[in-house]
Amino acid sequence: MHIIEDGNAAAALGVRLCRPQVIAAYPITPQTPVTEKLSEYVEEGSLSAQYIPVESEHSALAVCIAASSAGARVFTATSANGLLYMHEQVQWAAGARLPIVMCVVNRAVGAPWNIWNDQQDSISQRDTGWIQMYCADHQQILDTVIKAYWLAEKVSIPIMVCYDGYILSHTFMPFDLPEAGKVDAFLPPFQPDYALNPREPANLNTVTLPDVRVDVHGELAHGYMEIRYLLQEDLRLALAAAAEMERRFAGVFGRTADPYLEPYRCDDADFVAVGLGSLTYQLRVSVDALRAEGIRVGVMGVRFYRPFPDEAIANALKGKKSVIVFEKALSYGYEGALASDLKSALYEYLGGTGSLPTVQNFIAGIGGREIHTQELTDTLRAATQARVSKEPVWIGLKL
Amino acid sequence: MKKDYLEIRWHGRGGQGAITAAKVVAGAAFSSGFAGVVMAPTFGTERRGAPVMTSLKISKTKIYDLSPIEKPDIVVVLDHLLLKEADVTHGLKPGGIIVLNTPMAHETYHFKDFNLATADVTAISVEAGLPHGMVNTGIIGSLERAANLLGIDLLIERIEGEFRTRRPEKNALAARLAYERTATGG
């Protein structure tokens, strides 16, 4: 059934279909309506979950960590400084290998204070060991929440489902709301390998020594380094699990998608714009305009950002003249994080082959600065004519 | 006005229900075969009484550009006093339509290059039994009279659905009366 709702409603409806057992969240703009809707679902009885009000985002994720450790399917959501305030627990959740799903409604971080959209919040959490998936419209928000629970529980790694604040969270558009039976067929109840149990007390994630040692059962236990290595290895293996996730999802819902990338008019393109989130859909309009001018250009959204689908990206960009990366975030002091990651993948797979594209980096929409489609089109056209700069170029800057 | 792609900008005051009105039109458009409908409020500055804007894009195909409307085909103004506070015709295409809720006579206004439609939606809504100031259903009737978009019967059906727990008959009547009494031309 198609309904017209905003992006936060798409997220909340997706979460309800996944039947979480514990929800803990602290409201922050533009995430607030997600938590409001979920608390209403619990209140009216359309979602059978414990909704635990907390006094901060740090506590919200702490509650989720505890409940997930006890074997519950859990949910939280946040934005911007709320995510930053969680940061210690964000790291903990990944190290503890808990399949928590969290929506990050992307918003600029302070200072200065700003409530509008960019992606500095989730990008700044890139290296925490969470899986990060980015959405470009409401159908993707709803579908990605459902997929995220399957994948998180498959690989025991928490997932951030990221979508642009306001541009998606507060904008209304139609999307298909699946029947509960389909979601149940795709996503079985959470069956943890281990769950906290008062009758069998255990210590979890206590001080873990630099080296391996014999544990209380007389078995050789991992040291900190082995545990952290396994997180990295399992994150890399999650790429294959994501492909299985998409196959299974398509089998149940009939919507097929590439698990990592969303290319548009890229096959015969000489130039490809790359980005995360709704900006890549806006760029489709620019691509169509430039195609009408005879410029062979396409755009590719990166849906799966961590673990980074380096091989898929390098294959998709092989033989292109230039890759033009548009970002709503920056690794301050260098360039956009996605641009750096792309360069790294291209160097690894295409270095020395003679088919290494140039990479250009444009920064747009910081702190909600309006991105005019004409501006994107002009920028993209200029980038196909010559490499504009070695440094990241800020679009729409008024200095 | 029958087109494959239309942009409608709504000017109202915080709390006046412009978003709900745009949502009703969006739902009616989607059910009439417009696969792309995108409705986006202005962000971050919503306060009761303050001028607010909402963008509604309607398209036969999926809409990928979520950026705010720059050149609307139609502007809908829920309060005539906004003409003094906001540049409501900004970017309006030549030949574009202005739908205005006003107690003033139609002849009071002179918009060069644009087609004006007026009705005293505030009074009409009171006549329909709604509390004073509730104009967001009546204005849909005026919009339909001015632009001939989706058919008044479908819009009224959607109004009854949206307001099924909040005086559906009175809201439907307000839209019907406003549709019948909207002055156009000039």
pLDDT in tens, A21-57: 999 999 999 999 999 999 999 999 999 999 999 999 9
* pLDDT given for residue A146 in this prediction: 98
**B50 or A74, which is more confident?**
A74
One domain for residues A150 and A8: yes
Task: Please name the residue of chain A whose CA is at the shortest distance from the CA of residue B69.
Answer: A372
Q: How confident is the model at residue B15 (pLDDT cuts 50, 70, 90)?
A: confident
Tokens 């950026």 locate to B67
Residues of B in contact with A285 (CB under 8 A): 64-65
Residues of B in contact with A173 (CB under 8 A): 36-39, 63
Whether B21 has a pLDDT exceeding 90, the answer reads yes
Task: Please state the rounded mean pLDDT for residues A201-225.
Answer: 92
Eight-class DSSP state of B59: E
Question: Does B35 fall in a domain?
Answer: yes
* pLDDT given for residue A52 in this prediction: 97
Mutate to test the interface with B, among A116, A135, A169, A172 (most CBs of B within 10 A): A172
Q: Which of A115, A281, A371 sits opposite B44 (nearest CB)?
A: A115
Task: Please state the rounded mean pLDDT for residues A207-227.
Answer: 93
* pLDDT given for residue A388 in this prediction: 79
Task: Please name the residue of chain B whose CA is at the shortest distance from the CA of residue A3.
Answer: B27
pLDDT in tens, A76-115: 999 999 999 999 999 999 999 999 999 999 999 999 999 9
Tally of residues, chain B? 186
One domain for residues A46 and A169: yes
One domain for residues A170 and A295: no
Order of strands across the sheet that contains A172-176: A2-6, A172-176, B36-41, B51-59, B5-13, B74-77, B97-101, B115-119, B183-184
Question: Does B95 fall in a domain?
Answer: yes
DSSP labels for A173-184?
A: EEEE---HHHHH
The closest of B134, B138, B167, B163 to B152, measured between CA atoms, is B138
Tokens 């306001």 locate to A166
Q: How many CB pairs under 8 A join A and B?
A: 58
Question: Does A20 fall in a domain?
Answer: yes
Distance CA A7, CA A137 (A): 8
Structure tokens at A76: 């939280």
Structural domain that includes position B84: 5-104+121-184
Across the interface, whether the CB atoms of B38 and A167 are under 8 A apart is answered: no
Across the interface, whether the CB atoms of B63 and A372 are under 8 A apart is answered: no
**CATH code for position B33:** 3.40.920.10
Indicate the residue type of A119. Q
Whether A287 has a pLDDT exceeding 80, the answer reads yes
Domain count, chain A: 2
Tell me the whole-structure pTM to 2 decimals.
0.96
Q: Taking the CB of residue A198, how many other CB atoms lie within 10 A of it?
A: 6
CB-CB contact of B8 with B130 (8 Å)? no
Q: How confident is the model at residue A215 (pLDDT cuts 50, 70, 90)?
A: confident
- Distances A22 to A1, A33, A333, B181 between C-alpha atoms, Å: 27, 18, 40, 54
Task: Please state the rounded mean pLDDT for residues A10-19.
Answer: 98
Output Rg (C-alpha) for chain A, integer angstroms: 21
One domain for residues A177 and A270: no
Whether B133 has a pLDDT exceeding 80, the answer reads yes
One domain for residues A149 and A10: yes
**CATH code for position A86:** 3.40.50.970
* pLDDT given for residue B112 in this prediction: 87
One domain for residues A13 and A114: yes
Torsion of CA B168, B126, B142, B35, to 10 degrees: -30
Question: Does B116 fall in a domain?
Answer: no
Q: How confident is the model at residue B79 (pLDDT cuts 50, 70, 90)?
A: very high
Query: Which of A160, A186, A212 corresponds to the end of one domain?
Result: A186
Structural domain that includes position A358: 261-394
Q: Is A390 on the interface with B (CB under 8 A)?
A: no
Task: Please state the rounded mean pLDDT for residues A283-306.
Answer: 98
Task: Please state the rounded mean pLDDT for residues B126-149.
Answer: 95
Domain count, chain B: 1
Query: Which of A186, A201, A231 corresponds to the end of one domain?
Result: A186
Q: Is A116 on the interface with B (CB under 8 A)?
A: yes
CB-CB contact of A391 with A340 (8 Å)? no
- Distances A233 to A208, A278, B180 between C-alpha atoms, Å: 19, 30, 69
* pLDDT given for residue A254 in this prediction: 93
- Distances A381 to A189, A290, A302, A389, A395 between C-alpha atoms, Å: 49, 7, 21, 14, 13
- Distances A19 to A95, A147, A184, B57, B72 between C-alpha atoms, Å: 25, 13, 9, 34, 42
